[in-house]
Chains A and B, each alone.
Chain A
Amino acid sequence: MHTHLSDHLSAERLAALADDELTTSEAAHVTSCPPCAADLAAHRRLLARAREEGQIPSVPLTRWETLAPQLAAAGLIRRRALRWPVRIAAALVLAAGGALFGRYTATPRVVAQASVGADNIDDSMPIFRSAAEALATLNRAERDYRHASAYLVAQNPETTVSDRRDAYRARLAALDEVAQATAAGLQEVPNDPVLNQYYLSTVGARNATLRQLKGALPVGFRLERY
């Protein structure tokens, strides 16, 4: 019973009363005891602010770009199977890129041997004297490949505009996956030249394909999603 001013409510009981009902005797005490009334009010203010805090969202701690590769590795994200023309195109790009990167990453000894035996090498085989030269060649090859692919698609009389749009969409989906995978790899090894080049090439190819897809849309249509 807390009927006398000297019988203050304990600190823990006051804390409990922040969201609990006072007994009759406690209510009588609090009414006549300003210190206990003030403590109880303070507890209720504290609880009200804590409850408000629970309703306030915060900036996420996670990033989808980091989370998605882990979900994919766990088999929770199921990638759509690529259509066979896209698979072939992807294989060609990877093979061409791989060959060029192989040369780029070759040791100086190998390059030197190639220079010595240059007379015996087909004229079409490039010989690089620096990484910058190799990268410039790679960028040219990638650009030429894109243009050649676009030309072949455009010249194919059996390819309708609708087919081209489908092809562009399928390519964009594939490029998105490659960009995501290389971006995830770059988070592990930010300075890796091979991953960097693949990432930049993929983003470049993606932008070019987006432009092509926009060009294949009927007049007056805007591309909002693909």
Chain B
Amino acid sequence: MNTDDELVRRAIAGDERAMRQLWSLHAPRIDALVRRLVPDPDRAADVAQEVWIQIFRALPSFRGDSQFATWAHRIAVNGTLNAIRRAKRVDFAEAGGPVQEDTVAVEPDDEAPFVRASIIEAANRLAPGARTVFVLHDIEGYTHEEIAESLGITPGGSKSQLFKARAKLKRWLAHLVDGKTRDAHTPV
């Protein structure tokens, strides 16, 4: 039995110390996910709290078939998406939405941390549905099938939103990710 399994067993019994330890071990990743999906910091803090209550409430259903981290992450994804739906009534099936077409105001820099921060900043400017698919697929590593199930869309719809999101991000962050300056490229 690994550490998480033992902690889960005690947490199900209501042991606060075990619950606190689980939270302490997994909050950095779970809360990071919420922060990426909910750009507003105050709202993100509220959602993260709701998510943790959902995780502990669902603990008795954890069968140990997967890692606790994976199981909790999935609950966090669904909990966050539900919170977003409740708050903003986002129609995830809709691909488009108003976005600002100007480039993201960042200084040229090759440093990876700076590029990562710029990606998050730019992703926050995508339409909510596109941002959600981009975060879940390209950052969190979920498959299109998993995303489609969570969002109630088809895998094809998930792919379509992702590719549009990537294309926009690449355009906005061209000065950071383009290898060299070159003439305009007009795709067909």
| Bound CA–CA A38/B170 (angstroms) | 12
B117 to chain A, nearest CB (A): 9
- Let me know if A39 and B163 touch, CB within 8 A: no
- Let me know if B35 and A9 touch, CB within 8 A: no
| Bound CA–CA A30/B180 (angstroms) | 16
- Let me know if A62 and B179 touch, CB within 8 A: no
- Let me know if B180 and A57 touch, CB within 8 A: no
**A47/B163 contact (C-beta < 8 A), A8-B188, A11-B187, A76-B57 known:** no
The A/B interface has a contact count, at CB < 8 Å, of 151
Residues of B within 8 Å of A59, CB to CB, are 28, 31
Q: Which of A10, A42, A57, A68 contacts B32 (CB 8 A)?
A: A57
B13 at the interface (CB under 8 A from A): yes
Interface size class of B (residues with CB under 8 A): 35 or more
A56 at the interface (CB under 8 A from B): yes
- Let me know if B112 and A52 touch, CB within 8 A: yes
A54-76 contact mask (Cβ, 8 Å, vs B): 1 or 0: 10111111101011101110101
- Let me know if A38 and B139 touch, CB within 8 A: no
Residue of A at shortest CB range from B117?
A53
Residues of A in contact (CB 8 Å), total 47
Show 27 A/B contacts (Cβ-Cβ < 8 Å), sorted by A: A8-B186, A10-B188, A12-B164, A12-B167, A14-B187, A18-B166, A36-B185, A38-B182, A38-B185, A39-B170, A45-B177, A46-B173, A46-B177, A50-B139, A53-B36, A54-B140, A56-B116, A57-B29, A60-B27, A61-B44, A64-B23, A64-B24, A66-B49, A67-B52, A71-B16, A74-B57, A77-B14
Residues of B within 8 Å of A9, CB to CB, are 187-188
- Let me know if A71 and B19 touch, CB within 8 A: yes
A78 at the interface (CB under 8 A from B): yes
Interface residues of B (CB under 8 A from A): 13-16, 19-20, 23-24, 27-29, 31-32, 34-36, 41, 44-45, 48-49, 52-53, 56-57, 112, 115-116, 119-120, 134, 138-141, 159-160, 162-164, 166-167, 169-171, 173-174, 177-180, 182-183, 185-188
**A64/B20 contact (C-beta < 8 A), A51-B139, A54-B139 known:** yes
Interface residues of A (CB under 8 A from B): 7-16, 18, 34-36, 38-39, 41-43, 45-47, 49-54, 56-62, 64, 66-68, 70-72, 74, 76-79
| Bound CA–CA A8/B13 (angstroms) | 61
Residue of A at shortest CB range from B115?
A49
Residues of A within 8 Å of B41, CB to CB, are 61
Residues of B within 8 Å of A52, CB to CB, are 112, 116
Of A13, A42, A53, most B-chain CB atoms within 10 Å: A53
| Bound CA–CA A142/B114 (angstroms) | 55
